[in-house]
Amino acid sequence: MDRIATVVLTLIAALIIGTLIGLLGFILTQGWHKLNLDFLTSPPDIVNAGGGIGPQLFNSFYLLVLTMLIALPLGIGAGIYMAEYAPDNKFTQFIRMSIEVLSSLPSIVVGLFGLLVFVNMTGWGYTLFSGALALTVFNLPLLVRVTEDALRNVPRSQKEASLALGITKWRTIVSVILPAALPGILTGAILASGRVFGEAAALLFTAGMSSPNLNFADFSLNSPTSPLNPFRPAETLAVHIWKVNSEGLTPDARDVADGAAAVLIIAVLLFNLSARWFGTWVYKKMTSGSN
């Protein structure tokens, strides 16, 4: 019995690892031949073969930057409140409950909320900015949790030393505790970036499923063809994969999707690996004094 169980469990583990590695290998090998500069930079072609994913790739990164610009300050602020101020009362419990609810909401529901509030009520239509706000809602709980944990892990003695010098609590938080917690917060932020990069369902009805012809020489924030204008519709890489598969007309739709999926996977794996690598690097750096 013991031996049978060991064999079965080993087989299960092997099966899972095999499937998952096979999955990654499949996507990477399928898309490998598409990974050239031309594919990565040229705009997509709606009817003919040979289109690229340039604007989509740019949109994904730009949306990531916009989202982080909004979500990071809010997440860190809320994290500070939860770690340093929140008294043990009903309101705090309510905030914790809200964090739980937000983190388990289906992303399509967040997208629909974005459609109602950030697209229709504001009258902006499908814009990058609406997409960024929806993704902020989507990622806030993760950022708050990460910040709170990182702040709580800062040794008490550092805080007490600062307070004993007569420095106010807020100054202590901003200039002593927050810097010490920064590595943890950054690791979490990189992980959140990976999620933003791969998210599609929340963006279908907020950032839209189309991208205007971008003129990459135009850097004014107002021009509708400027890549930097946050109030233009923008299709991201993940949305593009979905769209090409469900309503693509080009003969090489499969090829485009292969390439885009490979790029997406590589980007997401890079985000996750760098978060891991960055975490250990900072840990070594910060603890090297004591070794």
Partner 1 sequence: MNHRIEGVGTNRQSLIARKMLTYNKRQFTENMTGRTIAMVCAALLVIVVLSITYFIASKGLSTFFVDGVSISEFLTQVKWDPEGEPALYGVFPFILGSFLVTALAALIAAPLGIGAAIFMTEIFPGFGKKVLKPVIELLVGIPSVVYGYVGLTLLVPFIREQFDVLGFSLLAGGLVLALMILPTITSVATDAIEAVPQDLRNASLALGATRWQTIWNVVLHSSLPGCLTAVVLGMARAFGEALAVQMVIGNTTKLPGSLLDPISTLTSGITLNMGNTIQGTPYNNALWSMALLLLLMSFVFIMILRFLGRKRLVK
Task: Report the site for partner 1 in 147-206 (rule: CB under 8 A).
Answer: 168-171, 173-174, 191, 194-195, 197-201, 204-205
Q: How far is CA 209 from the centre of its chain?
A: 19
Of the candidates 164, 163, 185, the one whose C-alpha atom is nearest the C-alpha of residue 173 is 163
- Rounded to a whole number of angstroms, the minimum distance from the CB of residue 180 to partner 1 is 17
Neighbours of 24 (CB within 10 A): 13
Q: How far is CA 290 from the centre of its chain?
A: 35
- Rounded to a whole number of angstroms, the minimum distance from the CB of residue 66 to partner 1 is 18
Q: Which of 65, 69, 249, 269 binds partner 1 (CB under 8 A)?
A: 269
- Rounded to a whole number of angstroms, the minimum distance from the CB of residue 75 to partner 1 is 8
CA atoms within a 13 Å half-sphere pointing along the CA-CB vector of 58: 21
Tokens encoding 144: 């708050």
If binding is defined by CB under 8 A, does position 232 make contact with partner 1? no
Give the range of 43-51, 94-102, 155-163, 177-185 binding partner 1 by CB under 8 A. 94-102
Q: Which of 23, 69, 165, 286 binds partner 1 (CB under 8 A)?
A: 23
Alpha helices in 82-124 (DSSP H): 90-104, 107-114
If binding is defined by CB under 8 A, does position 89 make contact with partner 1? no
- Rounded to a whole number of angstroms, the minimum distance from the CB of residue 224 to partner 1 is 21
Q: Which of 238, 248, 256, 259 binds partner 1 (CB under 8 A)?
A: 238
Q: How many residues bind partner 1 (CB under 8 A)?
A: 89
Q: Which is nearer to partner 1, 72 or 226 (CB)?
A: 72
First-to-last alpha carbon distance for the chain, in angstroms, is: 47
If binding is defined by CB under 8 A, does position 107 make contact with partner 1? yes
What is the phi-psi region of residue 125: left when phi exceeds 0, alpha when psi lies from -120 to 50, beta otherwise?
Answer: left
Cβ atoms of residues 193 and 84 within 8 Å:
no
Of the candidates 60, 75, 45, the one whose C-alpha atom is nearest the C-alpha of residue 203 is 60
If binding is defined by CB under 8 A, does position 84 make contact with partner 1? yes
Q: Any idea what DSSP says for residue 44?
A: P
If binding is defined by CB under 8 A, does position 249 make contact with partner 1? no
Give the range of 32-40, 81-89, 215-223, 283-291 binding partner 1 by CB under 8 A. 81-89
Q: Which is nearer to partner 1, 111 or 226 (CB)?
A: 111
- Rounded to a whole number of angstroms, the minimum distance from the CB of residue 168 to partner 1 is 5
If binding is defined by CB under 8 A, does position 284 make contact with partner 1? no
Please list, residue by residue across 99-123, b when 16 or more beta carbons sit within 10 angstroms of its beta carbon and e when fewer do: beebeeeebeebbbbbbeebbeeee
- Rounded to a whole number of angstroms, the minimum distance from the CB of residue 95 to partner 1 is 5
Q: Which is nearer to partner 1, 266 or 282 (CB)?
A: 266
Task: Round to whole Å and give the CA distance between 265 and 240.
Answer: 14
